[in-house]
Amino acid sequence: MGVELSQRPWPAAHDWRDGATWLRTLLECGAVRLPGVPIEPNHCGLHRVAALLGPPSLRAVSRQPDLNQGRGVQSVRALAQPIGNRFGETLRSSGSEAFPLHTDEAFLERPCRWVLLHCWQADPDGRGASVLADLRQLALADRPTLTRPLPYRCGMHVTLPEGAPARFNPEALQSPLNDGDLQAVDRIAAALAAQSVRFLLQQGELLVIDNWRLAHGREAFSPESSRLLLRLRLLG
């Protein structure tokens, strides 16, 4: 099982206006929490943080009006009727079920570098916790598994390559998988879960994730929940 945030103070929290400090922590640790980012219709605070990291990745933004907020910002909330993605699968960010640990845009040759999640409304029942795990921490544990090429929709890629972005998302793999691939995926998922950290984002808090290093996910919450995050992916 993962570790509660109270037992492991990571990711650290910093003043969102102190870019030099939180950038240093982000580069060292792979993630940072920025409390108090203003909740505004034009997302000025969110874009101010993003401007220090890179331009938006618009390649996987849903065009659904219920989710698309413009300029690369997308709502992450439970819709009465979850919608599909470009591959005809349910878009997990439009539902309330648990979201297993993964890296974003794993189906693209070069995934986005940064994932920003801005909490507008926390789940009133304290559910839907965010989950993080560092793929680099697995580097010495099972090198053959981590360097096994897996069949993603954009080609064969290893989970933890030398000098390239980490990549792990079982749902972005081409089916059917052979027994060796299935075993590798299961071993990586179990290892990530064992060293993961879970925590609840609070209203106004912005989580910044290095998508080339960390896997992220979330726990389930009620389909009727008012939980609302805004997501912005950025190119490296």
Query: What's the CATH number where 29 sits?
Result: 3.60.130.10
Evaluate whether residue 22 is within a structural domain. Answer: yes
Q: Could you tell me if residue 20 is inside a domain?
A: yes
pLDDT range class, residue 166, cuts 50, 70, 90 = very high
User: Considering only CA atoms, which of 23, 33, 53, 19 is closest in space to residue 197?
Assistant: 33
- Interacting residues of 104 by C-beta distance below 8 A, sequence separation 6+: 60, 111, 112, 115, 169, 211, 216, 233
Alpha-helical segments (H) within the chain: 19-29, 44-50, 143-146, 179-194
Q: State which residues form the domain around 159.
A: 3-57+67-234
| pLDDT score for 2 | 54
Determine the average pLDDT of the residues in 210-233.
98
Number of domains the chain is built from:
1
Report the share of the chain in percent with pLDDT over 70: 95
Would the pTM of this model clear 0.85, i.e. be above it? yes
In a domain, 62, yes or no: no
CA distances to 10, 54, 136, 208 from 235, rounded to whole Å, are 24, 6, 20, 13
Query: What is the reported pLDDT for 6?
Result: 45
